[in-house]
Structure 1
Amino acid sequence: MNLMSILTRLGLCDPDLTPQKSYGQDGEDLILDRLLERLTTGFYVDVGAHHPARFSNTYLFYRRGWRGINIDAQPGSMKPFDRLRPRDINIECGVAGSPGRLTYHRFDEPALNTFDATEAQRKNRAPYHLIETIEVEVQRLDALLDEYLPPGQAIDFLSVDVEGLDHDVLASNDWTRYRPRFVLAETLRTDMLQLADCPIAELMRNVGYTPVSKAYNTTFFAREAQ
């Protein structure tokens, strides 16, 4: 236990006023931590997990003792997860609206990898470059949760960041059965005022979720009370 943890436990340090390290690309994990009121244990699902720590919305929580499911389509992506995050369930697979195989665009910066050909074309410019396209297996999100989510396990948050196909991923969930407390989705080039016309926000409203916060590229949705 470090000095800051000891001081916090003794009531000598307010965590709300103490600088914290963020692993998310735009501080999403710190916003989520505040929304979850610094919950000490929980379960997450991360679609487009990318890396165990870099640009990770879940690593802060894993370090605290949480566990969850990490999903990414990048070939070989789960090897570092298996090594560095052994408590988690790590799945190398794409997520889409129907099972099958899709063309996956791989960049020299893996965080830009995408199934979306339009996004791939837009991002294929200096300093980043497309290195290859390959066919990879995809499954619906609800099918993966059917197979891998432990029986009776509630989901505290779902993080989706798949570079252009976030709507398809969210639409592939069964929202009558799998209802995380919070959902994080990438809403590129969309500010808070534009959310009213955002297809992802409309989908989330239709399944009972309300936007409650915004990072630069990510919108946070909270499950409405039943």
Structure 2
Amino acid sequence: MIIKKYIPCPIRNILNRIFDFFTWDQWCTRSWSQEGEDMVLRRIFEKKKNGFYVDVGAHHPKRFSNTYALYQRGWSGINIDAMPGSMRLFRKWRPKDINLELGIGKIAGSFDYYIFNEPALNGFSSQLSEDRARKDNPYYIKDVIEVDIFPLRDVLDKHVDGKSIDFLSVDVEGLDLEVLKSNDWSKYRPRYVLAEMLASSLNDIVTDPVVQFMNECGYVIYAKQVNTVFFRNKDSLY
């Protein structure tokens, strides 16, 4: 049952949760990701109890999270998001994780960060942000601030501490390739990498610059959700 759409959204969400609670189904699996990415990850790592992840563009400890389902199973990792104040909830709900409030990019420095009325759209891409603000939709830019950016390799050098990375999730609103290029792929080679590729189809992705770069780094396409592509390290056993 889905509560009628004419009921205001916050109330509708609460009513749906109450209904779900009283109609529990033993075959139901909960997902926190936006497009079910965490369900794919649970399938990939179904026998692994304490893995390690890196989530760039983590956004929220639960909402649209590719890592929360595994955190509940005993995993831990590094959450990174550039939104000022974003790590307050991570420190509250994800205390076992390393929670970092900063941006990731190819070159260290301070760059303009576009803040929307929908925080999931926040990012450093001026073109994508301005395009979204011009469209006929309810989203708009609230503010533009300067945020510090660091290459991913530098952040991992400081915080990974010899751990093997099971998967890297990157979702930074149009600049995923820049984040991927900022890693040291000879040193940090996650078993799987998730990258956002907006409005991509199975026919398009082979020629996409992200796919070409990941192929050069020794990764192959493994799976795809609506806007997320999974890459597998060719050297990985699973």
Work out whether residues 93 and 137 of structure 1, in 8 Å CA contact, stay in contact via their aligned partners in 2. yes
- In structure 2, what is the Cα distance between the partners aligned to 1:158 and 1:65? 17
Q: 2:158 aligns with which of 147, 150, 157?
A: 147
Secondary structure of the residue aligned to 1:193 is: coil
- In structure 1, what is the Cα distance between the partners aligned to 2:55 and 2:222? 19
- In structure 2, what is the Cα distance between the partners aligned to 1:172 and 1:40? 29
Does residue 92 of structure 2 align to residue 87 of structure 1?
no
2:189 matched residue in structure 1: 179
- The percentage of counterpart residues that share the same residue type is 48
Q: 2:226 aligns with which of 210, 213, 216?
A: 216
- Cα shift at 1:38: 4.4
- In structure 2, what is the Cα distance between the partners aligned to 1:78 and 1:167? 24
What amino acid does structure 2 have at the position aligned with 1:98? I
Q: List aligned pairs for 1:32-181, cutoff 5 A.
A: 32-124=41-133, 125=135, 126-150=137-161, 152-181=162-191
- In structure 2, what is the Cα distance between the partners aligned to 1:18 and 1:215? 22
1:56-105 superposed Cα distances (whole Å, 9 cap, x missing partner): 00000101110000000000101110111000000000001010011000
TM-score scaled by structure 2? Answer: 0.86
- In structure 1, what is the Cα distance between the partners aligned to 2:47 and 2:111? 38
- In structure 2, what is the Cα distance between the partners aligned to 1:210 and 1:104? 31
- Cα shift at 1:108: 0.5
1:176-214 superposed Cα distances (whole Å, 9 cap, x missing partner): 000000000001111122111101000100000000100
- In structure 1, what is the Cα distance between the partners aligned to 2:209 and 2:81? 23
1:141-167 superposed Cα distances (whole Å, 9 cap, x missing partner): 0000001112x2000000000001000
1:26-72 superposed Cα distances (whole Å, 9 cap, x missing partner): 00000111122342210000000000000000000101110000000
What amino acid does structure 2 have at the position aligned with 1:64? R
TM-score scaled by structure 1? Answer: 0.90
What amino acid does structure 2 have at the position aligned with 1:18? W
What amino acid does structure 1 have at the position aligned with 2:181? A
Count of residue pairs brought into register by the alignment:
209
What amino acid does structure 1 have at the position aligned with 2:158? E
Report runs of 4+ in structure 1 exceeding 6 Å deviation.
Answer: none
- In structure 1, what is the Cα distance between the partners aligned to 2:211 and 2:232? 11
Q: 2:200 aligns with which of 167, 190, 202?
A: 190
